[in-house]
């Protein structure tokens, strides 16, 4: 047998390639399948979940449905259309599953057999009535005249005629179409008669852009529909968060506003199993989108309303009744995690169902267990079963188990850091794979957006801590002032003080990390998006030489220009204090706008922005890039013409991560 001598540099090259394959890369994030909990059968024996897969080469994706036995863990794929199937619902008899495929309603047996198209028109979401006599659905309805209606002889003209505010929202221009709710007769897999629009108004239910079917629910007898709507438009809409819960009776056609007088968001209504009670999420203060979420409880017979969570210092999200109607389950943030808890209606006692360093991102309760989608920073959503009494967890789905087992993942540790005002702040420290404490590592401060959204145990497909650390960086992710899950006071302190204590908290976190022997204090960077991008811009003018590199995605740079170009004015009014022409001028414009400190900039900066970002319009990123360029500071602008506040398309996402890593490697390694 012949023997060959392989040159040493080839061996070294192969070793490095093999090593690189053991850590998360930008491409790996798109190899991971994305799991979403869809439905639980009436008897609790089966759960349906979606598995979305992506093709980076073709810049596309699809989603198939899977069913899993909640007792044995046995699962199987039940759709494979090479399209997007979702909104799965169990028929009330438990023997069939309805789902939407490319917007059309289909049904099939539990094993995926006997698939049949039910609707000949598209819809955006649907629910069976509990009696299986109707289905409700929502779809877009055109209200008002279009530009073409005004000028029919100009069919190729491209323009919008705008007379009021709220003409664009997040990443879409207002085209006069609104989501309205319909119901239609249904029997044995067939739709009967004509659909009835229960709204027929130029308002949206579910509310755009993030509202879903949790905002609409049937009464148990199938005679009433409770829904969420913010019945405002134009200037009124952009100044207020006051949505309400409406009750529509299909027998009389009458609609009743159940929450008139509650001035903040009211949404996500759910009926008790006996139909007598209604629970929903409510916020107290109009205009404050991050106000504490309460659970309200209404006796529909006695017309008596109370807050179930009075005295609770945290948010309580997404109330759901147990099957026996004795408890209400909800999600609650706790020390930068998301747990599931329940409250007993008889005496108001609250019990925590789950406990651990994880997020439960959605769940469906039975009486003695829940089925939920759980994540950590190292685990994308998988389906788990949790015993309500013991809290014991069983992982049911194993969608990404094999791929994750082949990777060297980072270790995540929680540290408590003292702030400048003597408080304790939770900081996540994420270490590179195969971390060696005898070495010194470049280190990145992660600045969270929101500004009121916790640095929890999320598995992000953009700000992925495993990916950042895999390139050889230590990540410092503080839950600074303004982030929920540490009490109402901590949450509310950010409003009106963007450049104050929250920025001091960031500096406390990075200074704490810099004292570690394995952190190279000469190679520190800061990154963030949205309010995190604002934080980067602010730190760039106030960091006193701490950082050597910055990355800001969709950051707010000039609060005056941002105030007059963002779309949800209530947010700007609450968090920065109102318009800059008020007398006296709000302190935010005099102290907290990053552009005021641009003369202090001296550090390399990558600025990233999307053309379709209407929450933080692209001019903010352009101004910051120009400010750096005009001062001769090493800087780069990464521009996405077809992305909004996020980067959602597969190839754009891979490019985003590659440029993110390239910039850090250029400036910190």
Task: Write out the catalytic residue numbers.
Answer: 530, 613, 645
Q: Strand, helix or coil at 252?
A: coil
> Cis bond leading into 584, ω under 30°?
yes
Query: Which CA distances in Å does 483 have to 359, 453, 488, 511, 551?
Result: 15, 5, 9, 20, 21
Give the position of tokens 């945290």: 314
Residue 69 · residue 75 · CB < 8 Å? yes
Distance CA 239, CA 286 (A): 9
Residue 363 · residue 332 · CB < 8 Å? no
Which residues sit opposite 228 in a β-bridge? Answer: 245
Cβ contacts of 378-385, under 8 Å, gap ≥ 24: 378/404, 378/409, 378/410, 378/412, 378/459, 378/466, 379/404, 379/459, 380/32, 380/34, 380/35, 380/459, 381/34, 381/35, 381/36, 381/37, 381/459, 382/35, 383/35, 383/37, 383/47, 383/49, 383/68, 385/70
Tokens of 150: 């005004």
Q: Is the dihedral of CA 190, 195, 198, 202 positive or negative?
A: positive
Whose CA is closest to 360, among 317, 311, 400?
317
Strand 441-447 with 474-478, pairing:
parallel
Distance CA 236, CA 377 (A): 39
Q: How many CB atoms lie within 10 A of CB 612?
A: 18
Measured torsion, CA atoms of residues 539, 545, 551, 552, in degrees rounded to the nearest 10: 20
Distance CA 2, CA 60 (A): 48
Distance CA 588, CA 598 (A): 16
Whose CA is closest to 135, among 29, 61, 225?
225
Residue 326 · residue 303 · CB < 8 Å? no
Query: Which CA distances in Å does 109 have to 44, 45, 97, 99, 620?
Result: 16, 15, 6, 11, 52
Strand order in the sheet with 134-142: 125-128, 134-142, 177-187, 190-197
Residue 91 burial by CB count (10 A; 0-12/13-18/19+): exposed, middle or buried?
Answer: middle
* CB burial string 319-351: b at 16+ within 10 A, e below: bbbbeebebbbbbbbbebbbbbbbbebeeeebe
* CB burial string 157-178: b at 16+ within 10 A, e below: eeeeeeeebbbbbbbeebeebb
């Amino acid at each position: 047998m012949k023997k060959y001598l392989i040159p040493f540099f080839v061996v070294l090259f192969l070793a490095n390639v093999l090593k690189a394959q053991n850590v998360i890369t930008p491409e790996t994030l798109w190899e991971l399948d994305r799991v979403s909990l869809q439905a639980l059968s009436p008897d609790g024996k089966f759960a349906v979940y979606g598995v979305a897969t992506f093709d980076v080469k073709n810049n596309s994706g699809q989603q198939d449905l899977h069913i899993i036995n909640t007792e044995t863990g046995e699962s199987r794929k039940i759709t494979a259309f090479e399209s997007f199937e979702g909104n799965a619902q169990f028929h009330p008899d438990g023997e069939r599953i309805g789902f939407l495929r490319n917007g059309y309603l289909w049904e099939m047996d539990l094993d995926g057999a006997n698939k049949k198209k039910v609707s000949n028109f598209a819809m955006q979401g649907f629910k069976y009535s509990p009696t299986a006599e109707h289905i409700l659905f929502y779809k877009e309805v055109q209200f008002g005249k279009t530009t073409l209606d005004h000028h029919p002889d100009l069919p190729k003209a491209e323009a919008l005629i705008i007379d009021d505010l709220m003409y664009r929202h997040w990443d879409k221009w207002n085209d006069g179409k609104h989501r309205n709710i319909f119901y239609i007769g249904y029997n044995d897999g067939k739709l009967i008669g004509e659909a009835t629009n229960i709204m027929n108004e130029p308002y949206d239910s579910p509310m755009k852009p993030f509202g879903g079917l949790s905002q609409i629910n049937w009464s148990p007898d199938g005679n009433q529909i409770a829904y969420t709507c913010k019945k405002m438009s134009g200037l009124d809409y952009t100044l207020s968060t006051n949505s309400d819960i409406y009750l529509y009776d299909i027998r009389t056609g009458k609609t009743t506003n159940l929450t008139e007088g509650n001035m903040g968001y009211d949404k996500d209504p759910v009926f008790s199993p006996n139909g007598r009670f209604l629970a929903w999420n409510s916020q107290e203060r109009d205009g404050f989108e991050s106000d504490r979420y309460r659970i309200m409880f209404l006796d529909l017979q006695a017309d008596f309303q109370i807050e179930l969570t009075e005295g609770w210092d945290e948010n309580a999200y997404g109330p759901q009744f147990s099957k026996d109607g004795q408890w209400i389950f909800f999600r609650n943030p706790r020390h930068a995690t998301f747990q599931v808890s329940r409250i007993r209606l008889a005496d108001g006692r609250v019990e925590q169902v789950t406990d651990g360093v994880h997020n439960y991102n959605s769940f469906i309760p039975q009486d003695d267990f829940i089925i939920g989608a759980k994540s950590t920073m190292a685990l994308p959503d998988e389906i788990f079963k949790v015993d309500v009494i013991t809290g014991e967890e069983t992982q049911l789905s194993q969608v990404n188990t094999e791929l994750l087992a082949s990777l060297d993942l980072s270790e995540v540790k929680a540290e408590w850091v003292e702030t400048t005002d003597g408080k304790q702040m939770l900081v996540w420290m994420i270490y590179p794979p195969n971390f060696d404490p005898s070495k010194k590592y470049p280190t990145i401060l992660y600045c969270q957006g929101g500004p009121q959204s916790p640095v929890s145990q999320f598995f992000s497909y953009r700000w992925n801590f495993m990916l950042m650390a895999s390139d050889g960086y230590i990540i410092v992710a503080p839950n600074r002032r303004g982030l929920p899950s540490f009490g109402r006071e901590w949450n509310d302190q950010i409003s009106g003080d963007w450049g104050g204590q929250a920025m001091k908290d960031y500096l406390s976190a990075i200074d704490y990390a810099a004292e570690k022997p394995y952190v190279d204090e000469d190679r520190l960077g800061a990154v963030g998006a949205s309010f995190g991008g604002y934080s980067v811009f602010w730190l760039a003018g106030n960091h006193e030489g701490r950082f050597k590199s910055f990355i800001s995605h969709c950051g707010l740079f000039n609060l005056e220009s941002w105030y007059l170009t963002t779309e949800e004015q209530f947010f700007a009014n609450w968090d920065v204090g109102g318009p800059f022409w008020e007398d006296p001028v709000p302190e935010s414009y005099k102290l907290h706008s990053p552009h005021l400190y641009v003369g202090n900039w001296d550090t390399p900066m990558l600025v990233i922005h999307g053309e379709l970002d209407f929450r933080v319009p692209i001019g903010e990123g352009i101004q910051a890039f120009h400010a750096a360029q005009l001062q001769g500071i090493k800087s780069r602008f990464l521009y996405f013409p077809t992305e909004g506040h996020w980067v959602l398309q597969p190839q754009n996402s891979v490019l985003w991560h590659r440029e993110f890593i390239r910039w850090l490697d250029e400036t910190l390694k």
